[in-house]
Structure 1
Amino acid sequence: MTQEQAAWRRYLDDLIRRLSAAEKQRLYTEIGVSRTTVQRWRNGENTADPSHIHRLLKALPEQERNQLRLLMQEDPTLQLLEAPLPAERPSEHIPFQIYEEILQLARNAPNPFWLLGGTLLFHALTQLRTTEDAGLEMIIAGCMPPKEHGKIRSLRALGVRGTAPWRTDFHMQERLFGVESLAGYVVMRRHSLLVPDTRDPGIALPLSRQEQELSCAAAPLMWSGKIAGALLATSNQPHFFTEEKLRLLERYADLVCLALSQQDFVDRSYLDLATLPGWQIQHTYFNTFRQRVNEEYKRSVQHGSLQELAQVEVNVRQTIEGELLQLTPLAHRLETIEG
């Protein structure tokens, strides 16, 4: 091979050398190959097939993607796809490299939720999203701390991550889920479920949805027979979720449990999820969340009963939860969920 024909390999080698270890692993995962395979592309031992070239280019930022494509076009031994790949069937299994990465993070991270949770949702979104036009959002929902000697009445969004049109960073969202939600349903039933089309009037289960949510799936977060919440995935495309994708979601839910503490898991007898208003109504209450936290914190300082900020936030969420529950006094808990 001539120097000109090998230019794309040198460029790829330089790109990968500049990536961090985590960025390299994410790149290998998005391409669907091992580190050794990419190393062989870089040093000229073998050549990537068209589908892997497509995924490699798709995974790179626009500037690097365009430059690498130009260099690849100079190599007559490569076959570049001019049209996008047809929709792929995702494996229902998580690549072993992801297990290695997550177990290492779980071993070394002092506060694992944000690091583990964000990394897991990144990999799950990457593996689930088989078409570029599919928008996805994933939510880790945990049990809302009850008031003293009380029951758990709702779930709370602990961490959220998505693809366009949703936010793509791992972030918090002040949002509660009751028994009317898919997350609440799978927690009470303790088994996974998918909804192919949320607009279908024949759906025989409780469901409140956002405007862009056309299909969804959820899996409970369980450990040693106890439950901590649910992993929820939604898409802006109907019929996006399949049984295969649901099994993949279940496996990611198992790994998400590593990001939680033992105290997050409760016996089923503590669960008594109630019906809550939809997100639009909740949003009007949580709009003042930070203001109410600041006011309560100042009062605790003035009265000499200084509280940790995290505890003040819990108190305010519990207050808002109570206010939301009072908005639906006639909406009884669904009998079918209590079985």
Structure 2
Amino acid sequence: MEKYTSWRELLGSIIQDMQERQRIAGLLGVNVVTLGRWAGNASNPRYQHLRRLLSVLPQYRAELQELIVIEFPDFSFGLELSKQGEEQDLIPSALYTQVFNTYTIMPHIQRSWSITNLILRHALDQLDSQKQGMAVILIQCMPPSQNGKVCSLRERIGFGNSPWPTNLEPHAIFLGMESLSGYVVGTCQSSVLQNRSKEQQGVRPVHWDQLEKSAVAYPIYRESKVAGCLLVSSAVPNYFLPHRLKLIEQYAELLSLVFDYEEFYPLEQISLQIMPHSSYQEKVLFNFRQRVAEVMLTSMRSGENLDIRKAEALVWSQLEQELLGLAVDLNMMQEEYHPLQAE
């Protein structure tokens, strides 16, 4: 294992990976160039940035702290106090600045993904700074079916810390009334389940992910309409303490920016159905990209100009109808979910 003589040298080694450099810069609320200047000893960071750096890089925390104190001996003063209160802080103002800046300058076609990516990555880092295991997922309502009702939800984008994969988008599934997210969207009220091992019977249906030990969801709404929810799952029971719940609520509020006005639906339009278990969905969803390519090819041959976003939306709609039909055929009500007590 390489031995570093300064925190700047260690940082320089870490940020050689451009993707990691961008991630760290985003979480710190600084420019990627600034990271390079710190590593190259061309400028000095503020102590608040150094403290945040320890949280952003928990795997290097001990070594970084030791090396930082060598250059800045007074850095250790009050560090433990700062560490204790770190998680209880509100969303950093730097994130709001980044989000609103991105909203202002980013083209509409890229805006939603860019802001969602920024918010979810920051949420994961702040809520699971010790890397105990967490997944944060943006859930959105599917467009209304022919009957004018929203019948299901879809996992739009998500990120995780082990034991979850880093990128959860390839594992996205549909959700319905059998899920915690379904309950939250259908009522436009937050809900938290603190312990999977409880054998209590309740009135709120939940189909647990195999990795979840506790979970919470907050609705994403505007005025009296709902667009989806923010789902946060932890590998640790009883993880969602009050200050974490407050943070999740704030992140859900911020995520309302990523939806267009027409993607919010009144509660009377929400009529979620039961969706099949993920093991059944995988057999239907595995060729999603192939189906999108086939739709675009067919469109091209017929002389239509169908872009990839519209092609994806069409395929998602087709898949939703197939899964709704499959759920009915499998009679999933009693076999694929069980009610647990929600707090």
Q: How big is the alpha-carbon RMSD for the aligned residues of Structure 1 and Structure 2?
A: 4.3
Deviation (angstroms), 1:166: 2.2
In structure 2, distance between residues paired with 1:322 and 1:45:
53
Secondary structure of the corresponding residue to residue 152 of structure 1: coil
Q: Which has the larger radius of gyration?
A: 1
Deviation (angstroms), 1:278: 1.5
In structure 1, distance between residues paired with 2:279 and 2:45:
56
In structure 1, distance between residues paired with 2:240 and 2:129:
11
Match of residue 99 from structure 1 = 96
Is the Cα–Cα contact under 8 Å of residues 56 and 129 in structure 2 kept in the other structure? no
TM-score scaled by length of structure 1? 0.76
Is the Cα–Cα contact under 8 Å of residues 222 and 257 in structure 1 kept in the other structure? yes
Secondary structure of the corresponding residue to residue 151 of structure 2: coil
* 1:95 aligned partner, one-letter code: P
TM-score scaled by length of structure 2? 0.75
Is the Cα–Cα contact under 8 Å of residues 7 and 67 in structure 2 kept in the other structure? no
Match of residue 253 from structure 1 = 252
Match of residue 271 from structure 1 = 270
Match of residue 139 from structure 1 = 137
Q: Deviations over 1:293-331 (max 9, x none)?
A: 333444444555564433332232222222222233245
Secondary structure of the corresponding residue to residue 326 of structure 1: helix
Match of residue 236 from structure 1 = 235
Secondary structure of the corresponding residue to residue 328 of structure 1: helix
Match of residue 125 from structure 2 = 126
In structure 1, distance between residues paired with 2:90 and 2:75:
30
In structure 2, distance between residues paired with 1:23 and 1:99:
16
Match of residue 32 from structure 1 = none
Structure 1 residue ranges, 4+ long, deviating more than 6 angstroms after superposition? 9-22, 42-46, 61-65, 85-89
Secondary structure of the corresponding residue to residue 97 of structure 2: helix
Structure 1 residues 92 and 67: alpha-carbon distance in aligned structure 2, compared to 1, 3 A threshold: closer
Matched, 1:211 2:210: yes
Matched, 1:162 2:163: no
Deviation (angstroms), 1:268: 1.5
Match of residue 26 from structure 1 = 27
Is the Cα–Cα contact under 8 Å of residues 296 and 311 in structure 2 kept in the other structure? yes
Question: What are structure 2's unaligned runs of at least 5 residues?
Answer: 31-37
Structure 1 residues 234 and 191: alpha-carbon distance in aligned structure 2, compared to 1, 3 A threshold: same
Is the Cα–Cα contact under 8 Å of residues 8 and 72 in structure 1 kept in the other structure? no
Q: Deviations over 1:159-189 (max 9, x none)?
A: 1112222233474643111011111110011
Secondary structure of the corresponding residue to residue 324 of structure 2: helix
Q: Of the candidates 163, 180, 187, which is equivalent to residue 178 of structure 2?
A: 180
* 1:286 aligned partner, one-letter code: L
Aligned length: 314
Bigger helix share: 2
Q: Percent identity?
A: 28
Is the Cα–Cα contact under 8 Å of residues 133 and 164 in structure 2 kept in the other structure? yes
Is the Cα–Cα contact under 8 Å of residues 153 and 175 in structure 2 kept in the other structure? yes
Deviation (angstroms), 1:201: 2.4
Deviation (angstroms), 1:28: 6.5
Is the Cα–Cα contact under 8 Å of residues 179 and 273 in structure 1 kept in the other structure? yes
Moved more, 9-18 or 115-124: 9-18
Moved more, 314-323 or 291-300: 291-300
Q: Deviations over 1:115-161 (max 9, x none)?
A: 110110111112211433x1111111111123344311101111111
* 1:234 aligned partner, one-letter code: S
In structure 1, distance between residues paired with 2:333 and 2:179:
14
Match of residue 196 from structure 2 = 198
Structure 1 residues 242 and 65: alpha-carbon distance in aligned structure 2, compared to 1, 3 A threshold: closer
* 1:317 aligned partner, one-letter code: W
Match of residue 4 from structure 1 = none
Matched, 1:328 2:327: yes
* 2:125 aligned partner, one-letter code: T
Secondary structure of the corresponding residue to residue 158 of structure 1: strand
Deviation (angstroms), 1:70: 4.5
Is the Cα–Cα contact under 8 Å of residues 135 and 237 in structure 1 kept in the other structure? yes
In structure 2, distance between residues paired with 1:259 and 1:44:
35
